[in-house]
Amino acid sequence: MDIPPSPPVIFARSRRMAARQRMAAAERAGHGVSTIARELAQDIVDRLGFLRETFDNALVLGDRTGALIRHLERQGKQVIPADPAPLDGLAQIDEEAPIGGGPFSLIVTLGLLDTVNDLPGALVLMRRALKPGGLMIASFAAAGSLPKLRAAMLEADGDRPAPRIHPQVDVRAAGQLLTRLGYADPVVDGWGFDIGFDSFDQLVGDLRAQALNNVLARSGPPLSRAAVATARARFEASRDADGLIRERFEFVTLTGRNAAPRF
C-alpha cells in the first residue's frame, strides 16, 4: 500500500500559535483590531439566517469577536468555542488532527485554514467530525488579498524577492477541492472588501494585531531600514484623494455537508 506524501511545511506552527496569543493579549489590553474578524463572523450569521436550519450542536473555531457564538447560543444551540492556540476560555483544537467532542451538526472555522500546512487533510477531518447531513462552513483569506502590500514588498526586495506574504488559495481551486474530498452539496463563494489605512505602518500594525502577519516557516531575511522606507513609499504613493490608502482583502467561504457517516 502506497503511503501518501506528507504535505510541505509552508507555515510554522510555533509562529502561528505565537501570533494568535499576541493577538489575544492585545485584545485583553484594549489594543486589539477586529475589523476582519467582525466581517467574517457577521457573514456566517447572515448565511445561517438564509438556511433556516436547526443545528443540535456546533463547533466554532476562530470566532474572536464571539458574535457567531452568541448568535448560536441565543438560539439554544450547544456550542463549543475553540481555537488552534491555547487562548483563554477556548478549547484548543489542532485542525490537522482528529477532532474530538463530536459528532457535530455544524462546524464553522473563521480565518484559520489559510495557514494550515495540510488544507485537504483539515477539511477531511472536519467532514469526519460531522453528523450525517452535518454542515461545514469555512471562511479564510484567498488569492488577491493585499495587492498593494505585495507590490510594495516586491519593490523593497528588489532583484532578490523573499517570501513575506502567505501563498493563498484560488477560489476555483477551492471548489474542486471540496468535491474531491467527498463533501456533498459543495458551495464556494469568493467575496471581499476594502479597508482604508492612514499609513503603511498602520496596515502592518493592524495585520499583526489580527494575527495576519507572516507565519511562514521560511520567511526570508528581515528588511533593512532602507528597504522598509522603499516599501512605505510605494504603499503610500497609492493614497486616495481623501488621504487614505485602500487595501483589498479577499476571502473564500467553503460550504459542504457530510453526506454519510464516514468514521
CATH number of the domain to which 20 belongs: 3.40.50.150
Q: Is residue 105 part of a domain?
A: yes
What integer pLDDT is reported at residue 5 of this predicted model? 62
Give 52-76 pLDDT, tens digit per residue. Answer: 788 999 999 999 889 999 999 998 8
Nearest CA to 20 out of 240, 211, 233, 220 is that of 211
Q: Is residue 162 part of a domain?
A: no
What integer pLDDT is reported at residue 4 of this predicted model? 53
What integer pLDDT is reported at residue 2 of this predicted model? 41
Distance CA 59, CA 127 (A): 12
pLDDT-derived band at 195, boundaries 50, 70, 90: very high
Give 97-111 pLDDT, tens digit per residue. Answer: 989 888 999 999 999
**Do the Cβ atoms of 14 and 22 come closer than 8 Å?**
no
Q: Is residue 118 part of a domain?
A: yes
Give the range of the structural domain holding residue 48, as residue numbers without chain letter.
13-145+167-198+213-219+248-257
Q: Is residue 80 part of a domain?
A: yes
* Count of structural domains within the chain: 1
Q: Is residue 5 part of a domain?
A: no
- Count of Cβ atoms closer than 10 Å to residue 257 Cβ: 18
What integer pLDDT is reported at residue 76 of this predicted model? 87
Give 27-46 pLDDT, tens digit per residue. Answer: 888 877 889 999 999 999 99
- Statement: residue 1 has pLDDT above 90: no
Q: Is residue 110 part of a domain?
A: yes
Give 43-57 pLDDT, tens digit per residue. Answer: 999 999 988 788 999
Q: Is residue 227 part of a domain?
A: no
Instruction: Give the helix/strand (H/E) hosting 29.
Output: none
At what angle are helices 35-51 and 67-74 packed, to 10 degrees? 30
